[in-house]
């Protein structure tokens, strides 16, 4: 992966709707901004129950977007990342439909994980309550197979059937996807929901020792095909550090809420502390196709978090206030597809559409250790799409706007977007970012982030009390917010 800003986008939601349209956009007004592009699920279909994360067919590009040849062509221009949806497949998939029709005689019977396979002797109350849940429902859904109801493991939604990755059939299924990626020029994969892949009775069924082993084996397989691996896991920050020591790259999911906390409260301490210990082999984000996570800065049992519970409560309430209550409509029990660890809102709206604070937040992301990734709505300083939320009732859709080419052209004329593009080009081109990172808290409300390579040094000085920021090289101020 190039040490340059990366784009993360849905193919059909950014200026046209096809892989060829996206390629023209990247070669046109977005030329030179990105060293790589993460294409969110483009498999058949892109409009299932979870915006492509519940594929019927992981090996086929949705024909409305193009085909694998178009993927390879786009990969000639930018490095491509794709999602390997490790944990589940759609209930509409041919494999599961074959199981429903033929039961244990199906060739695909062992692909899907059942309650009985994990708990052959039944589960106790403590077994069930120990299971870590991203959503407030039980992790099983009954389906009728051969006249008998069977409980299939469904970590996320009833339409997303968990794969038994420990069976030969499950292993072969994942291997076939890796082979397709390699043949199509995909150079990096994100392991989606990998933390839930292994289940054991009497455990949390999340990030077990066996899970680390599974991720390591899968990463090794990808590496032999020339494919890098990014692991997506929302968890306590110490778990992120531990994972980072075992895999190629991890997400820095603690950064988004800590930047908001610093801008909302004026306190520099928690963010400065995290930047001093954060993994260096990470992908930094402020916004993604999911919401703004808070689990990653919270406590886990007796392990304290990066923010105290009352600080997290204030953070969430401030997002709701600054977004004029729009994020409250899209979060938790107010909307379907809810998660327990996120606030659904664009990052720009979470800051109250304040251009200055938004640019400070992006500068902090670009100076943080790791490779920055920018979500397509964040690239255009997009506000909440309440109309889409109201049409679908899906909370995450508030941050998943469909941009026409005309809307993109209008956004490109906005000063905040133009300044963001200037910051991206600085991050891509300045040699200091190839050197050593440093962070210093200069007061309770101020900090300096620096990068130094040979005789080139770049500093970002931020005063959260005002808030204001400057990017300095020597005696020259390159940016001031």
Question: What is the rounded CA–CA span in Å between residue 176 and residue 95?
Answer: 14
| Angle of helix 405-412 versus helix 415-429 axis, rounded to 10 | 80
CB 260 within 8 A of CB 364: no
Q: Is residue 144 exposed (0-12), middle (13-18) or buried (19+ Cβ within 10 Å)? A: exposed
Catalytic residue check, 232: yes
| DSSP at 104 | G
79 among annotated binding-site residues? no
Is 289 labelled as part of a ligand binding site?
Answer: yes
Catalytic entry in 12, 56, 192, 385: 192
Q: Is 190 assigned a ligand-binding role in the annotation? A: yes
For the beta carbon of residue 336, count every other beta carbon within 10 angstroms: 13
Which residues, in sequence order, are CB contacts of 47 under 8 Å at separation 6+? none
Numbers of helices and strands, H then E, in the chain: 18, 21
Active-site hit among 83, 164, 228, 232? 232
Q: Please tell me whether 339 is known to bind a ligand.
A: yes
Contact 423/33 with Cβ under 8 angstroms? no
What is the DSSP pairing of strand 456-463 with strand 446-453? Answer: antiparallel
Is residue 470 marked as binding?
no
CB-count burial class (<10 Å; 0-12, 13-18, 19+) for 104: exposed
Tokens of 375: 């979500």
Provide the annotated active-site residues. Answer: 192, 232
- Residues in binding site for sucrose: 88, 190-192, 232, 289-290
- Residues in binding site for substrate: 50, 339-342, 396
């Amino acid at each position: 992966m190039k040490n340059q800003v990366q784009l993360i986008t849905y193919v059909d939601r950014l200026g046209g709707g096809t892989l060829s349209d996206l390629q023209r956009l990247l070669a046109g007004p977005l030329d030179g901004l990105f060293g790589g592009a993460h294409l969110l699920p483009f498999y058949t279909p892109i409009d299932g129950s979870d915006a492509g994360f519940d594929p019927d067919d992981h090996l086929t590009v949705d024909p409305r977007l193009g085909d694998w040849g178009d993927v390879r062509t786009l990969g000639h221009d930018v490095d491509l990342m794709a999602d390997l949806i490790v944990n589940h497949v759609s209930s509409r998939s041919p494999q599961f439909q074959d199981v429903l029709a033929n039961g244990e005689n199906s060739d695909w019977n062992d692909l899907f994980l059942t309650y009985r396979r994990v708990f052959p002797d039944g589960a106790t109350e403590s077994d069930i309550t120990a299971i870590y849940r991203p959503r407030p429902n039980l992790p099983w859904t009954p389906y009728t197979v051969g006249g008998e109801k069977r409980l299939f493991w469904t970590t996320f939604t009833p339409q997303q059937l968990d794969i038994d990755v420990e069976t030969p059939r499950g292993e072969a299924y994942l291997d076939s996807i890796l082979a397709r990626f390699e043949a199509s020029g995909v150079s990096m994969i994100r392991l989606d929901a990998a933390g839930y892949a292994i289940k054991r009775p009497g455990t949390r069924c999340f990030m077990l020792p066996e899970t680390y082993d599974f991720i390591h084996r899968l990463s090794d397989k990808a590496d032999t095909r020339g494919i890098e691996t990014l692991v997506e896991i929302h968890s306590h920050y110490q778990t992120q550090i531990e994972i980072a020591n075992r895999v190629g790259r991890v997400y820095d999911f603690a950064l988004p809420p800590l930047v908001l906390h610093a801008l909302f409260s004026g306190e520099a301490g928690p963010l400065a502390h995290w930047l001093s210990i954060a993994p260096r082999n990470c992908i930094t984000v402020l916004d993604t196709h999911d919401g703004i996570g808070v689990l990653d800065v919270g406590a886990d049992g007796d392990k304290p978090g990066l923010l105290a519970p009352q600080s997290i409560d204030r953070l969430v309430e401030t997002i709701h206030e600054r977004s004029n209550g729009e994020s409250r409509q899209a979060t938790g029990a107010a909307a379907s597809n809810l998660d327990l660890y996120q606030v659904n809102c664009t990052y720009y709206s979470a800051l109250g559409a304040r251009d200055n604070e938004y640019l400070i937040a992006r500068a902090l992301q670009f100076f943080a250790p790791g490779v920055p990734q920018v979500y397509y709505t964040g690239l255009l300083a997009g506000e909440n799409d309440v109309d889409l939320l109201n049409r679908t009732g899906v909370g995450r859709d508030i941050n998943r706007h469909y941009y026409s080419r005309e809307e993109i052209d209008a956004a490109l004329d906005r000063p905040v977007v133009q300044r963001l593009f200037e910051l991206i080009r600085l991050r891509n081109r300045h040699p200091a970012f190839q050197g050593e990172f440093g962070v210093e808290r200069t007061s309770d409300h101020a900090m300096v982030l620096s990068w130094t390579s040979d005789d080139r040094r770049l500093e970002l000085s931020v005063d959260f009390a005002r808030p204001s920021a400057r990017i300095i090289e020597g005696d020259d101020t390159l940016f001031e917010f």
